[in-house]
Structures are given as C-alpha cells and as structure tokens.
Amino acid sequence: MRRNQVAVVGAAETTELGVIPNASQLQLHADAALNAIADAGLKLSDIDGFATAVETPQQVCHYLGIKPTWVDGTSVGGCSFMLHVRHAAAAIEAGLCKTVLITHAESGKSMIGKAPRSIPADSLQGQFEAPYGVYGPPSMFPIPVLRFMKTYGITHEQLASVAVVQREWAAKNPRAMMKDPITVADVLNSRMIAYPFRLLQCCLVTDGGGALILTSADRAKDFPRKPVYIMGTGESVETPMVSQMETFNSSRAFKTAGPLAFKEAGIGHGDVDHLMIYDAFAHLPLFGLGDLGFMPHEETGRFIADGNTRPGGKLPLNTNGGGLSYMHSGMYGMYALQESVRQMRGIAPAQVPNATISVCHGVGGMFAASGTIVFTNER
Amino acid sequence: MAEPQRARPKPTPETQHFWDGAKAGELRLQRCDACAHVYFPPRPFCPSCASRKVSVFKASGKGFLYSYVINHRPAAPGFTPPYAIAVVELDEGPRMMSNIIDCPQTPEALELDMKLEVAFEALDDKITLPVFRPAKG
C-alpha cells in the first residue's frame, strides 16, 4: 500500500469511559460513532464504508442508520481495529468507498447487551486447553511469561516497572481510571492473580468505546481537524491457543505485523516519536519492543525499568496510561489508536512535544493476532 | 448439590483417536508419512507440508516443563486454587497444555525445564485426560 494516501479525519471515544451502567454495548457503539462524526464535521449519510468487530456490521449499521457499500467485520480480538484501519485504507485507495467509519464498544464491566464469551467443548480450545483450568485472559495470557523471563533474564521487578511507568502517564490524563502513583513494591505486593502476575500487572475491566473516520488524504485537508495520515500498516494471525504458539520467546504475529508496517512506512526505529503497545498484561510491552525490533528482547526489561518509556524518556510508550491504568473494555486496540491520533493532532493530555510519527501496535486474543499502524501528521 | 465440574472435552471425528488413546492409557500424536513432521493438536493432514498421508502413533509420554502460571483467581469450575496451568514440551516436539500432578503448586517446586511424564486422569467413563507429573529418577 502507498504511504500517506489515506487519513484519519474523525476520532472520538465514548462520552463516558469506565463504568457506564446506563447504556448497552450497542448504544456505546452509537455514542462513539456520533462523537466521531461530529468531530469530523460529517453527517451519518456521508459514511459509505463501515467496519466493526464482535458486533456485526449489519447490527451497528442498522442501529445507526448507515447504508454502506463496503463493510468489514474482521474480528480477531482487541487489535481488530488496527486491521480495520489497514483494510479501510486499502478500500479507499481502491475506490470501493470514500468515507469509512470504524467503531468499537464494549460493555466489558457492566455487561449490558454483551454476549458472554464461551469456549465450545468440541472446539480445539475446548478439548485441549479448557479442561486444564484456563478461565479468562488472566489465566492464559501470562502463560508464556516465565519462559520469556528465563530466556532473556527478565526480572519480576522489571515486569512490575511496566505498571509503575504507565501509572505515571495515567496521572497526567484526566480520563484515566487509575491515577494514583504506585511503586514497584506496590505492584509486587498486590493481590496474586496468576503467578507471576499480580493485580497491578493485569488490565482494568471497564466499559467504553471509540470510533475513527478515514478518508482519502486529498479530501482530508478540507476537514476541520488536522489530518493524521496512515503511513504504514501490518497484520497477521498465529493461533487461538496460547499453548500452540511457535515459541514463548516472541510472538510470530507481532514479528510479522510490526516489520510490515515499518517497511511500508519506510521508517527506522529512530524515527519513532511515540509508541503504543497494547498492554493487556505487563509483559506485552516487552514482547512488543523486542518483536518490533526496537532492541533485543534481553534489553526490554531494563529499558523500561530505567525510565526510557516514562514521561520525559526517549521513547514515550503508552502515553494514555494503557490498558493497565487508562481503561480496558476487553478489546483495547481502539483506545491505543485514539491515543496515537491525539498525539499526532497535538492534543493529547500528556502530549509528546513535536511528535510527527506514532507507531500503534495491537494484539488480539492471547498473542493470537496482531495489527500495527504507523501514523504521521506530515505528508 | 453436585460439585461444579471441570470443563469436559467433546471429541470431534478428527480428534477421537486422541481421546480413545487417553482412555487406553496412551498419549497419541500424529506423524506425517511424507515429511516426518510430528504435530499436535490432531488433524487428518500435515500442517507443515499439507500431505493427507499421516499416521497416529503412541508417544513416549516424556517431556519437560516449558512454562506455566499458577492460577489464583478466578478459578475455573472444578479447580481449587492455587493450581498450575502448564505447557509441556514433549520429547517428540509438540507442546500441549496440561496440569502437573504429584507436585506442590508453587514456584519453588515447579522449575522450568524439569522432566515430566504423562499420567492419566479419568474424568468420567468417556473422557480420560492426559496430565503430567515429575519424572521418576
């Protein structure tokens, strides 16, 4: 795909984030969509392309009154929205549609109008993982981490520092759920969830949503907001079974999607001003820094513990506070994208000065899928 | 009232041989007749070379502890926390999720790379589950 041919011209989250007991999941989609449409200065009738995950496109389009000529229901977990951005950019470039709306919403905490996740007993996961006591992401996502730690000499303190640094970013963000400072000792003394991970190393569980609007870069200059261009994109999937990853020392999906996006953008790691790595759990930024090629995996723990990703550090990472401290409705990828767009617009609560390139890297499932988007505010 | 049960696998035509094997006290894997790739979970073709000529064989049941978590909460139905959810690397190459029995469920006792051997736990008269325990000697 050619770089900088498509731009984000509308971006918004739901009016409320956190605990939203007065709206169904479907209404949260609509709330985010209407906010993004207002942000872009558009009417619903201007939308001719639509993408969403978990909910079907027909469900959300009908509810909103959208009549699309292009839809994408790719649903590969929390990075689905990175894949939607990639697919939408290709569709706009191919002339299949002009203005794409991407929505995410999840009543992850209040569970209103949200189907419970279940594992069929005759699926491969139901036969070969569920009988061994996996029960939700905290019991599955951290399974690779002890091997990763042993291979690369990563310490418990370094993994705790991920949560500490992200709380520093969250403290600057009025919309973050958790803003009180924490220490490595606080993290290592918090309630055990699934050894080696404790409560403060696991993502929040909240309600919320977000939406993006994309159009061609040529049209983007006529919109009220500063355009944020799609510079590079990548995607991949590996396996729905965490036990069947090729290795626990890296994520194959990360190692495919990330370098694809860097290559397409034509950038090196030193060009990156701002970075988002989907942090459902504290080990993901370490996997991401290594798999995206920022540094050898051995150095990732020390890099974060030494403060390189904290406010004022040389590689600002997860500047909204991340899934650990900002919010996490279950499929956090949309919120990472929203933060990248805010940083490129120059309006983030914890703005990185003069940032021109933002990399936004997402995970779906338990390392099951991945999507990476490189944004820029310069064309 | 009955205790909540652990999740019961429901075999499909492609996996029936595995569950028949477990019931007979065998850990069964598949090997490609064309490229010799050994793989898991079961399927009637080779995920490495796509050959449909594959054979089922009895694995050694030996392996080592590749990684794990010790789950504290929330606990799955039928499990008393804390309990380890492990991934075992078999001597034949494939990895599988399992539980580790006859071993304290602690970081001190569960050492990565410790040698393991298969054991079998009958869940009911249809399903027997392969699990692992520290290898003897």
**pLDDT tens-digit readout, A198-222:** 999 999 999 999 999 999 999 999 9
| Contact residues, chain A, for B97 at CB < 8 Å | 128-129, 132, 134, 241, 243
Query: Taking CA atoms, what residue in A is nearest to B7?
Result: A131
Q: Please give the structure tokens belonging to residue A342.
A: 């805010």
Q: State whether residue B21 is helix, strand or coil.
A: helix
Mutate to test the interface with B, among A125, A132, A150 (most CBs of B within 10 A): A132
Of A131, A142, A195, the CB nearest to B9: A131
pLDDT of B1 higher than 60 = no
Question: Do the beta carbons of residue B101 and residue B86 sit within 8 Å?
Answer: no
| Model confidence pLDDT, tens digit, residues B4-21 | 789 999 999 999 999 999
Alpha-carbon distance values, A343 to A222, A297, A362, A376 (Å): 20, 27, 17, 10
Checking phi first, is residue A191 left (phi over 0); if not, alpha (psi -120 to 50) or beta?
beta
| Orientation angle between helical segments A156-170 and A297-305, nearest 10 degrees | 50
Is B115 part of the contact surface with chain A (CB cutoff 8 Å)?
Answer: no
Query: Taking CA atoms, what residue in A is nearest to B128?
Result: A131
Question: Do the beta carbons of residue A242 and residue A366 sit within 8 Å?
Answer: yes
Count of pairs with CB atoms under 8 A, one residue in A, one in B: 123
Is B120 part of the contact surface with chain A (CB cutoff 8 Å)?
Answer: no
Of B9, B12, B112, the CB nearest to A150: B112
Q: Could B15 and A194 be called an inter-chain contact, meaning their C-beta atoms sit closer than 8 Å?
A: no
| Model confidence pLDDT, tens digit, residues A86-130 | 999 999 999 999 999 999 999 999 999 998 878 999 999 999 999
| Contact residues, chain A, for B12 at CB < 8 Å | 122, 127
Query: Taking CA atoms, what residue in A is nearest to B8?
Result: A131
Give the dihedral of Cα atoms A251, A257, A262, A265; nearest 10 deg. -170
Is B104 part of the contact surface with chain A (CB cutoff 8 Å)?
Answer: no
Identify the band that residue B127 occupies on the pLDDT scale cut at 50, 70 and 90: very high
| Model confidence pLDDT, tens digit, residues A267-295 | 999 999 999 999 999 999 999 999 999 99
Q: Could B8 and A131 be called an inter-chain contact, meaning their C-beta atoms sit closer than 8 Å?
A: yes
CA–CA distance, A276 with A9 (Å, rounded to integer): 20
pLDDT of B137 higher than 90 = no
Q: Could A131 and B10 be called an inter-chain contact, meaning their C-beta atoms sit closer than 8 Å?
A: no
Of A124, A144, A191, the CB nearest to B67: A144
Element (H, E) at A257: helix A252-265
Task: Work out the minimum CA distance from B96 to partner chain A, whole angstroms.
Answer: 6
Task: Work out the minimum CA distance from B100 to partner chain A, whole angstroms.
Answer: 10
Q: Residue A17 has what pLDDT?
A: 95
- Return contacts of A341-345, CB within 8 angstroms, 24+ apart: A341/A8, A341/A11, A341/A212, A341/A228, A341/A375, A342/A11, A343/A274, A343/A319, A344/A226, A344/A228, A344/A274, A344/A375, A344/A376, A344/A377, A345/A11, A345/A225, A345/A226, A345/A228, A345/A377
Nearest to A282 by CA among A200, A349, A212, A337: A200
Name the amino acid, one letter, at A319: T
Name the amino acid, one letter, at A95: G
Task: Work out the minimum CA distance from A264 to partner chain B, whole angstroms.
Answer: 29
Task: Work out the minimum CA distance from A281 to partner chain B, whole angstroms.
Answer: 13
Query: Taking CA atoms, what residue in B is nearest to A118?
Result: B7
| Contact residues, chain B, for A283 at CB < 8 Å | none
Q: Could A122 and B12 be called an inter-chain contact, meaning their C-beta atoms sit closer than 8 Å?
A: yes
Q: Please give the structure tokens belonging to residue B14.
A: 């492609």
pLDDT of A265 higher than 90 = yes
Q: Residue A164 has what pLDDT?
A: 98
Nearest to A131 by CA among B8, B113, B36, B12: B8
What number is the average pLDDT over the span A62-74?
98
Identify the band that residue B3 occupies on the pLDDT scale cut at 50, 70 and 90: low
Query: Taking CA atoms, what residue in B is nearest to A196?
Result: B69
Q: State whether residue A170 is helix, strand or coil.
A: helix
What number is the average pLDDT over the span A76-84?
98
Question: Do the beta carbons of residue A60 and residue A40 sit within 8 Å?
Answer: no
Task: Work out the minimum CA distance from A359 to partner chain B, whole angstroms.
Answer: 30
Of B69, B74, B79, the CB nearest to A143: B69
| Contact residues, chain A, for B70 at CB < 8 Å | 192, 194-195
Of A131, A194, A243, the CB nearest to B7: A131
pLDDT of A10 higher than 80 = yes
Task: Work out the minimum CA distance from B123 to partner chain A, whole angstroms.
Answer: 10
pTM (predicted TM-score) = 0.97
Number of continuous H segments (helices) and E segments (strands) in chain A: 14, 11
Q: Residue B5 has what pLDDT?
A: 87
Q: Could B67 and A145 be called an inter-chain contact, meaning their C-beta atoms sit closer than 8 Å?
A: yes
Q: State whether residue B34 is helix, strand or coil.
A: coil
pLDDT of A37 higher than 60 = yes
pLDDT of B136 higher than 90 = no
Q: Could A127 and B72 be called an inter-chain contact, meaning their C-beta atoms sit closer than 8 Å?
A: no
Decide if the complex's ipTM is over 0.90.
Answer: yes
Q: Could A244 and B95 be called an inter-chain contact, meaning their C-beta atoms sit closer than 8 Å?
A: yes
Identify the band that residue A299 occupies on the pLDDT scale cut at 50, 70 and 90: very high
Of A133, A192, A197, the CB nearest to B99: A133
Of A126, A150, A194, the CB nearest to B10: A126
What number is the average pLDDT over the span B53-80?
96
